[in-house]
Amino acid sequence: MNDKHIGELVLSQEQIAAGAENVAAQLNDQFAGDEVVIISVVPGGILFTADLVRKLTFDLSMDYISCPHTPGDRNNTSEIVYHQNISVKGKHVVLVDDAIESGGTMKRIVEYIASSFEVLSVSIAILLVKPGRVDIPVKQYFAYEMENDDLLVGYGLPWQDRYRNIPFISKLHRP
């Protein structure tokens, strides 16, 4: 894909695959023998969820949750939409997303799930995290910690609702 907004490569397809393998290994160690509900944070988490769950070896169910936001927005107040298609009561819940940028939206989702549904535990699985994110007081499983807060696109990460389908992650280039 040749586009003026796609900048320097940050994570290649091979690095993303290795990252999914790394996070899956962490989750497999933590939840061996447990029943877990994987909740994909959509739309951004769809790609990582698909790659991740195929590497998980414990019993799982899947659902999804949405909380539209602008990447990097610490003060997201948009509605959390969760239909609870399967019961999470008394179960471990792992929220899966592509990245934690500021962490504001993920923190709200964690608090919502933990306080509303009598879950056994809540944790987060993400491909990458950025520095300067808010403190989210739950176990986080991730493959990469970024060195800066560059705007990124690809592999679920959008800019102006575009570029989610790029199979790698690059810096956003604004000419």
Confidence of residue 3 (pLDDT cuts 50, 70, 90): confident
- Average pLDDT of the segment spanning 93-108: 93
Per-residue pLDDT at 89: 96
Per-residue pLDDT at 72: 54
Report pTM.
Answer: 0.93
Per-residue pLDDT at 101: 87
User: Is pLDDT at 1 greater than 60 in this prediction?
Assistant: no
Whole-number Å distance between alpha carbons of 10 and 111: 31
Whole-number Å distance between alpha carbons of 105 and 174: 25
User: Is pLDDT at 108 greater than 80 in this prediction?
Assistant: yes
pLDDT digits (tens, 9 = 90+) for 31-75: 999 999 999 999 999 999 999 999 999 999 999 999 886 555 566
Lowest-pLDDT choice from 58-62, 66-70, 93-97, 123-127: 66-70
Tokens 């705007």, residue?
Answer: 151
- Cα angle for residues 156, 158, 160 (degrees, 5° grid): 155
Per-residue pLDDT at 46: 96
Per-residue pLDDT at 75: 67
Could you give the residue ranges of the DSSP H alpha helices within the chain? 13-31, 46-53, 104-116
Q: Is the dihedral of CA 141, 131, 153, 107 positive or negative?
A: positive
User: Is pLDDT at 21 greater than 80 in this prediction?
Assistant: yes
Contacts of 12 (CB under 8 A, 6+ apart): 168
- Average pLDDT of the segment spanning 83-94: 96
Residue pair 121/92 in contact by the 8 Å Cβ criterion: yes
